[in-house]
Amino acid sequence: MAGVATSTARAALTFAAALAVTLVPAGSAHAATAYCESLTDASNQEWMSGLPDDTGLAALSVPGTHDTLSLHGGDITQTQEDHGDSAETLTAQLDAGIRAIDIRVRKVDNEFTVHHGTFYQHANFADVLAKAGDFLAAHPGETVLLRLKAECTGEVGSCTDESSDLSTAEILDRYQQNDPNGHYLYNPASDGPASGATASDGTPTLGAARGKIVLTALQEAQGGLVDGYGLEQFNDDNWGDYVQDEYEVPTVGDIEQKWNHVREHWDKTNSADPAEMFLNFTSGSSLGADPKDVACGASGARGVNDHALEHLGGNDVPRTGVVLMDFPGSDLINEVISRNGA
Q: Residue ranges per domain, the chain?
A: 5-17+32-337
Mean pLDDT over residues 51-60, rounded? 95
pLDDT value of position 132: 97
pLDDT value of position 1: 46
Per-residue pLDDT tens digits for 232-275: 999 999 999 999 999 999 999 999 999 999 999 999 999 999 99
Does pLDDT of 5 surpass 70? no
**DSSP letter string, 221-287:** TTSPBPTTSS-TT--TTTHHHHEE---B--SGGGHHHHHHHHHHHHHHHHHS-TTS--EEE---BBT
pLDDT value of position 156: 77
pLDDT band at 182, cuts 50/70/90?
A: low
Neighbour count for residue 309 (Cβ, 10 Å):
23
Q: Where is average pLDDT lowest: 90-104, 170-184, 197-211?
A: 197-211
pLDDT value of position 32: 85
Does pLDDT of 4 surpass 50? no
DSSP state at residue 139: -
**3-state secondary structure string across 290-327:** CHHHHHHEECCEECHHHHHHHHHHHCCCCCCCEEEECC
pLDDT value of position 3: 43
pLDDT value of position 194: 42
pLDDT value of position 183: 79
Per-residue pLDDT tens digits for 184-223: 999 999 886 544 455 445 689 999 999 999 999 999 999 9
pLDDT value of position 30: 63
Instruction: Say what percent of the chain tops pLDDT 90.
Output: 80
Mean pLDDT of the residues in the chain: 89
Does pLDDT of 114 surpass 70? yes
pLDDT value of position 341: 80
Q: For residue 254, with 0-12 CB atoms within 10 Å meaning exposed, 13-18 middle and 19 or more buried, which class applies? A: middle
Kindly report the CATH class assigned to 5-17+32-337: alpha beta
Does pLDDT of 28 surpass 50? no
With residue 213 as reference, give the H or E element that holds it: strand 213-219
